[in-house]
Amino acid sequence: MANKTSFWLVKQEPSQYSWDNFVMDGETYWDGVRNYQARNNLQAMKKGDLVFFYHSVTGKDIKGIAKVTREAYPDPTSDDPRWVVVDLKPLKALTHPVTLEEVKIHKDLQEIALVRQSRLSVMPVTKKESRIILQLSKTSI
DNA sequence: GCCAACGTTGGC
DNA sequence: GCCAACGTTGGC
* CB-proximal positions of chain B, under 7 Å: 5-8
- Three-state SS across A85-105? EEEEEEEEEEEEEEEHHHHHH
Q: 3-class SS at A115?
A: helix
The residue with greater pLDDT, A52 or A141, is A52
Count the neighbouring beta carbons within 10 Å of the beta carbon of residue A40: 13
What domains are there in chain A, each with its CATH number? 7-137 (3.10.590.10)
> Looking at A2-6, A10-14, A54-58, which range is the least confident one?
A2-6
A13 CA: nearest nucleotide by C1': C10
Q: Which nucleotides of C are covered by protein (CB under 7 A)?
A: 8-12
pLDDT of A42-81, one tens digit each? Answer: 999 999 999 999 999 998 999 999 999 999 999 998 888 8
- The answer to whether the beta carbon of residue A104 comes closer than 7 angstroms to any atom of strand C is yes
C-alpha pair distances (Å), A136 with each of A21, A61, A92, A139: 24, 12, 15, 8
- Does residue A32 carry a pLDDT above 60? yes
pLDDT of residue A2: 54
pLDDT tens digits, A73-108 = 999 988 888 899 999 999 999 999 999 999 999 999
Specify the nucleotide whose C1' lies closest to residue A57 (CA).
Answer: C10
Q: Does residue A117 approach strand B to less than 7 Å at its CB? A: yes
- Asked whether the predicted pLDDT for residue A17 surpasses 70, the reply is yes
Nearest-5° Cα angle at A110, A56 to A12: 15
Res A52: pLDDT:
97
